[in-house]
Amino acid sequence: MSRRNALFARALMLRCPHCGGRDVLRHWLAMREHCPTCDLALAAGNRAGAYILNLFASEIAAVLFIFSIVVRTWPNPPYGTLQWLVPVLMVIAPLVFYPFSKLVFVAIDLALHPGAEPDPQVHETRR
């Protein structure tokens, strides 16, 4: 497995993308500032990109959900059910995808640097 694939695989398993260390989340909606294993700064500079990634994933999930229901029930889609189900999905989906989007964005940030090593200006280590 290449280094970049490992970064994304670790992020999707909710581990530190850099070292694979566990316990990078304080709880489902909050990530630790630094990885407890390698001390990589996880939260620095990644908030806006993670929010955009989260919104994108939530929107794609909603569109695929609506499309699959309409296609399966054609020619009489349950529009009444979709009117309340889709807004509920749009509230729940970002909450479900949130920790994944934060860690995947850290993995993207690490993958964009030569050698996939942390950028010291963004991912400083504590001393």
| Residue 107 in this model has a pLDDT that exceeds 70 | yes
Mean pLDDT comparison of 29-33, 46-50, 117-121, highest-scoring range: 29-33
Greatest Cα pair distance in the chain: 64
C-alpha distance from residue 113 to each of 47, 71, 82 (Å): 18, 42, 43
Strands (E), the chain: 25-27, 30-31
**pLDDT tens-digit readout, 62-106:** 999 999 999 999 999 999 999 999 999 999 999 999 999 999 998
Separation in Å, CA 72 to CA 66, 69, 77: 10, 5, 8
- pLDDT for the residue numbered 92: 94
- Angle among Cα 18, 13, 86 to the nearest 5 degrees reads 125
pLDDT above 80 (res 51): yes
